[in-house]
Amino acid sequence: MSRLTSVGESSASLSRELSDFLIELSIGLHKNAIYPPGHPLLESATSGIARRIDALLQERASLSLGVARQQLIIEGVATDDNNPVLRDLAQRLHRHHLGAVKFTQGVKIAEIDDVLATISVDAGRRAKPLGLEGPEVLQQWEHIRLFPLTFEQLQLLDEDPDAPDDNDKAEMRGDKSRAAQLWIGLARAALAAESTDERLDSAESTDPVMVAKAIDEHKKDAAYDQVVVGYLLQIAEELKAKGGKEAAALQRRISRLVSTLQPETLARLLEMGGDSRQRKKFVNAAAQGMAVDAVVELVQAAASTSGQNISHSLVRMLSKLAVHADEGSALTRPAADGALREQVQQLISGWQLDDPNPDGYRLALDKMSRETPVFQPTDDALPCEPERLLAMGLEIQILGEPVWRSTDQMASRADIAPLLDLLDLAPEGWMRDALWRHVATADRLYQQIQRESVNVQVVQRLVNRMQLSAADPLLDMLESADDRLASVFVEMLAGLGNDVGPLVVSRLTGTRWSMQRLLLVILGKLTELPAGFAPREFIRHADGPVRREALRMLIKVPAMRDLAIAAALSDPDERIVRLALGASMTNCPSEAARILMVRADDSALSPDLRALGVRALSSYRSPDVVAFLVRRTLGRKKLLRRRALASKSPEMLAALAGLAMHWRSDPASQAVLELATESSDSEIIEAVGRRGAGT
């Protein structure tokens, strides 16, 4: 399908408006699943979706969203199943056994909010999926309707291993066969009608004739047609991209289906809501993969829908091009493929010509057009690599179809680093900026973050380019990231600067404790805290790590330092106490000194923390402190003997080091230090000598 050349287009087959709507709908459902009712983020998500729907319904009476297993179908266009955001939305709806969602003009915010809350509940947590509920659930909203997709009426191809196989079933059998899954999906969608025909429960329910009959008999319904057309489009793409026995079996089945459908049914499916652009895309995709007879049927139906006549000569040319595109040499296949696309576009956009040839001559030409090419050259021509095309376009500064197509091909790969390298090396200017805007998007960032093996360097390069617009994707994925990635995302978010602060603060309320801790870590790395944010409310939090990060922030604020250190020293979490001791080691506040004197004998603290507390206390200039330290270093005075050093302990050594460091000139301290210098214990000598060397 042709690539739109307008700057900023985000999809090869979906308009920017529809793509943005689907992505916002997926993110809105995700937020409803993780945030409690009434959360501010839910209100903003619903409002955003409402604005998107309102804009889309300005030009159409309704908007139908078809559901496949891993794709969505909207206005006859199937989304990319490699897009993680849209694939998640499709899978969420599919797990609820929903076949389509329909929005009509007049939809209200309250309806959207209720629908999001209903669908966001995982199917496994409900008594039964939404698609198995009755009309009282699926039709409870005035302007939004959910359509069920029933599965009970269909048997899978491989559910009855003892049944005799026809060739097509044998070739398509297997759970991992995408061809089989697509055909089964189409059959399910077609047979999900409100029919009581007992033949739909038979083993022939996947037969092309039966599927065609079900489509013929179904009344005209936009949501139903969207799903059927969406599967036909996916199948056409599958036939275009794949080969082998499975594709051949699928091609025979879909060709037989198209040939069996009534002309008026084909015309109905190809109406596409009157959108000729979508009709072009669908017929172009089908023409590249289906058998020749099915291609002709579709082209003729499309022409009939457009109110145009087709000459037999053009039909023959199309058939011949299809043969060359399928069976020609490697040199002729690309040319025939491109010519076929161009001719199909012209046919369905309006081509009027009566066939002047006699019937006999016409029949002879028809037969010739279906003959296999006579010559089969063996020298294969290699297509030009997208890297080369993109580099050439950047060098000559021409932004056209080949450049867009090459950019999309490189962006769809597992490793997009080569694409980013080319853009970084490109000359500065409008073209480089336009391509960067196309590549560095929230959608692309979501794709990279959700990969099984995240390339941190690539993510960082996208974040550097996107700046603040990268904050929401990073914050959305932060909660589910493992420890390694979480620390990386925290650094990336902090690197966005102080402007990210308000976004981080907006997510603090109502989220899980582990997420609150990470958000506080980000805020603690900023040079300025957001206006109105008060970390003090978190120092009494029930979770220790959350308290620790809040206290770490407060200690950095000069006006709050003393209060924060005192609160941290009284905390039952030893990690928080250690944080406070490190902050007060060279300038201990008065309130902290009082607490440390009490906790020096607190058995709830480990010996090493009590020793660190004594060291920190010694930096506070007060006679009470030096008296306290002296008492910790001297033992009880025995009869007729002078005072001796107390028994050696971590606290006693810390007190000696504190006296040597901060109180060497004090008379009481000098007496203790003299006793220590006479000791033969190396640890005592070390505590007094090395600590006092710098004073």
pLDDT tens profile 39-76: 888 888 888 898 888 888 888 888 888 887 778 888 76
Opening angle at CA 371, ends 370 and 374, nearest 5: 145
pLDDT of residue 45: 85
Which is nearest to 233 in space by CA: 289, 172, 303, 305? Answer: 289
Please check whether the domain covering 412-575 is classified as CATH 1.10.10.
no
> Which residue did the predictor score with more confidence, 423 or 178?
423
Has residue 418 got a pLDDT over 90? Answer: yes
Query: Mind listing the pLDDT tens digit for each residue in 485-543?
Result: 899 999 999 999 999 999 999 988 888 888 989 999 999 899 888 888 888 888 888 88
Quote the CA–CA distance of 545 and 216 in Å, as a whole number.
63
Distance separating alpha carbons of residues 586 and 261, to the nearest angstrom: 87
Is the pLDDT at 417 greater than 90, yes or no? yes
Q: Are 25 and 86 in contact (CB under 8 A)?
A: no
Q: Report whether pLDDT(619) > 60.
A: yes
Rounded-to-integer distance, Cα 115 and Cα 28, Å: 11
Q: CA nearest 155: which of 194, 135, 184?
A: 184
pLDDT digits (tens, 9 = 90+) for 228-278: 776 776 676 677 666 556 667 777 787 777 777 777 777 777 765 445 555
Q: What digits encode the pLDDT tens for the residues 11-36?
A: 335 778 888 888 889 888 888 888 88
Give the residue with greater pLDDT, 257 vs 581: 581
Query: What is the residue extent of each domain of the chain?
Result: 16-148, 167-369, 412-575, 598-692
pLDDT at 360 over 80: no
Q: Does 383 score more than 70 pLDDT? A: no
pLDDT for 536-546, tens place per residue?
888 888 888 99
Give the Cα separation of 437 and 10 in Å (integer): 10
- Across the chain, what does the average pLDDT equal? 76
Q: How would you label 592-605 residue by residue, b for 16+ Cβ within 10 Å and e otherwise?
A: bbbbbbebbeeeeb
d(CA 435, CA 19): 18
What percent of the chain stands above pLDDT 70?
A: 67
Q: Give yes or no for a contact between 39 and 510, defined as CB atoms under 8 angstroms apart.
A: yes
Percent of the chain at pLDDT above 90?
11
Return the structure tokens found at 533.
């944010």
Confidence of residue 630 (pLDDT cuts 50, 70, 90): confident
pLDDT (0 to 100) of residue 174: 43
Given pLDDT bands bounded at 50, 70 and 90, which one contains residue 337? low
Q: What is the CA radius of gyration of the chain?
A: 36
How much is the pLDDT for 660?
Answer: 85
For the stretch 112-147, pLDDT in tens is: 889 898 888 887 778 788 888 888 888 889 889 888
- What average pLDDT score do residues 556-585 get? 88
Report the pLDDT value the prediction gives residue 198, as an integer from 0 to 100: 41
Q: In terms of pLDDT, which residue wins out, 158 or 683?
A: 683
Say if residue 179's pLDDT is above 60: yes
Q: What is the H or E stretch that residue 426 is in?
A: none
Q: Is the pLDDT of residue 152 over 50?
A: no
Give the pLDDT mean for 538-565: 88
Query: From the CB of residue 467, how many other CB atoms can be counted at a distance below 10 Å?
Result: 14
Instruction: Report H helices in 467-602.
Output: 471-478, 483-494, 501-505, 513-525, 544-556, 561-569, 574-583, 590-599
Cα–Cα dist 322/329, whole Å: 13
pLDDT band, very low/low/confident/very high, at 8 (cuts 50, 70, 90): very low
| pLDDT for residue 339 | 66
**Is the pLDDT at 479 greater than 70, yes or no?**
yes
pLDDT: which is higher, 323 or 63: 63
Question: Given a cut of 70, is residue 550 above it in pLDDT?
Answer: yes
Whether residue 193 has pLDDT greater than 50: no
- The DSSP string of 604-660 is TS-HHHHHHHHHHHTTS--HHHHHHHHHHHB-PPPTTS---BPPP-HHHHHHHHHHH
Predicted confidence (pLDDT) at residue 168 exceeds the cutoff of 60: no
User: Long-range pairs for 420-426 at CB < 8 Å and ≥24 separation?
Assistant: 420/458, 420/461, 420/462, 422/387, 422/390, 422/391, 422/394, 426/394
Mean of pLDDT values over 612-637:
85
